[in-house]
Amino acid sequence: MDIAQLHNMANQIARNLAAGGEDAAISATAQHITDFWDPRMKAAILASDQAALGPIARAAVERLAPVLSRDERPKN
């Protein structure tokens, strides 16, 4: 999947959840990415330049980075 599309999707999710307040939107966006994005999508957004993400989406991805990096590692 194109990284621009992933950025767009994350920003759309964040905008849709923003009405609940910034902290709640960050948590809900992070949870949505965790629950519904496949591992390739998660890895791609983590590896990308996150400058194209809005503040809520960027904070959500940053919050997930340590968890996703650990969970998405190949299992031996």
Q: Which domain holds residue 12?
A: 3-71
Q: What is the pLDDT of residue 18?
A: 97
Average pLDDT over residues 1-12: 96
What number of H helices and E strands is found in the chain? Answer: 4, 0
Backbone angles phi, psi at 64, to 5 degrees: -85, -20
Dig out the tokens for 43 from the structure: 């890895």
Q: What is the largest CA-CA distance in the chain?
A: 42
Domain count, the chain: 1
In a domain, 76, yes or no: no
Q: What is the pLDDT of residues 13-72, one digit of tens each?
A: 999 999 999 999 999 999 999 999 999 999 999 999 999 999 999 999 999 988 766 665
In a domain, 10, yes or no: yes
d(Cα 27, Cα 46) in Å, to the nearest integer? 17
Q: What is the pLDDT of residue 66?
A: 85
Where would I find the beta strands (DSSP E) of 1-76?
none
